[in-house]
Structure 1
């Protein structure tokens, strides 16, 4: 029987990524899912899968589902190893990073903690825009996926691990994002500009900075 790979990704990416995998192995069966619930149904309907690959998704693959897969499953993270977690672009912009990138890694129970199997990095211009960085990151994710697709399609063989390691000191958690978003009333102009630049994203309006005064919350609007 042909091997079955489950692809967890946004619906708009599924057709393109599926075609890339099909070009790597014409016998490979690729099934797709847009979120965790759909993934669980898809795996059950397929009678199990041989590999799960997650790409550009906020959905978390449950540990018990990972254990049902014979070998490693993989995730494509929209940030470098130095920024594990959600919305890594915001923290990199706040830090004034000169370099950014994307990471492919084995999925384990803890999010963005498994062995790294590939990275792709690129330099950042001076004072980059958040949405520019999101677009550039997406391009790098697709590039890394295309590079690794022949190995991903070779179901019986795990991808070689690199010597790279995650830097968990800068983990991008919801709590850390909330701290970054909450502007203190006495914030200076330089710190205000750093936070606004990091969090001003048209596509991620829910992460915009806010100021609370006298029990009322004021959220930054797009200029």
Structure 2
């Protein structure tokens, strides 16, 4: 292995590339921020490369996964129980008592490969989506640094943890959109949970009520206390 392709943003590359160099000075670490940038790398580079994705929403093309000579690994910003997109949002909606991060092998199916490590932490009651995602990101960064040495090594991570299975429900944009579609007969409790989890305008979607063909986008009233 002579190259690591880091699927992340520019700021993350500036932090993680030096950490990888520290463990393998002979490495070349290159950045990709999109599927298009991944596809721009030639077959020769990919044959000698390992891909590391960090909190990325990019779906890696199957052709890229097949071309990589040293595997692909993903740092997922959610625990194994929450594969898919926006895991923190669904965990808050479910009133989960713990959350975490996952390092796993990448395969053709999203969040489906062998799990190498999972870091779990309790969700403090009253935690907001912003706070939960910030805490998760911090844990994910620490997890990256903990595995930087093996990721930079020729052999790479090999010890999967078969005792940790993925959750059965894989969250998608379609599921997220359906959670933002508020039925007229919704209970107060369910509405409160949806507003807490899905009211942050992720993917340009917010809880919406449709009445007689007219859509009403729901927002929280700062003067009210929905828990009262």
TM range (shorter): over 0.9
Q: Distance in 2 between matches of 1:47 and 1:172?
A: 30
Figure out how many residues of one structure are paired with residues of the other and give that number.
220
Q: Are the counterparts in 2 of residues 4 and 28 from structure 1 also a CA contact under 8 Å?
A: yes
Q: Distance in 2 between matches of 1:50 and 1:112?
A: 21
Deviations 1:11-70 (A, max 9, x none): 221110111111121111101111110122134584644200111111111111111112
- For 1:165, the equivalent position in structure 2 comes to 165
Moved more, 89-98 or 19-28: 19-28
- For 2:111, the equivalent position in structure 1 comes to 112
How far 1:5 moved relative to its partner? 0.7
Alignment of 1:124-143 (within 5 A): 124-143=123-142
TM-score (ref. length: structure 2): 0.90
Query: What SS class does the counterpart of residue 5 from structure 1 fall into?
Result: strand
Q: Are the counterparts in 2 of residues 36 and 60 from structure 1 also a CA contact under 8 Å?
A: yes
Residues 189 and 153 from structure 1, CA distance in 2 versus in 1: closer, same or farther, beyond 3 angstroms?
same
- For 1:207, the equivalent position in structure 2 comes to 205
Q: Are the counterparts in 1 of residues 47 and 69 from structure 2 also a CA contact under 8 Å?
A: no
Q: Distance in 2 between matches of 1:109 and 1:67?
A: 9
How large is the Cα RMSD of the aligned pairs?
A: 1.7
Long gaps (5+) in structure 2: 223-228
Work out whether 1:216 is the aligned partner of 2:219: no
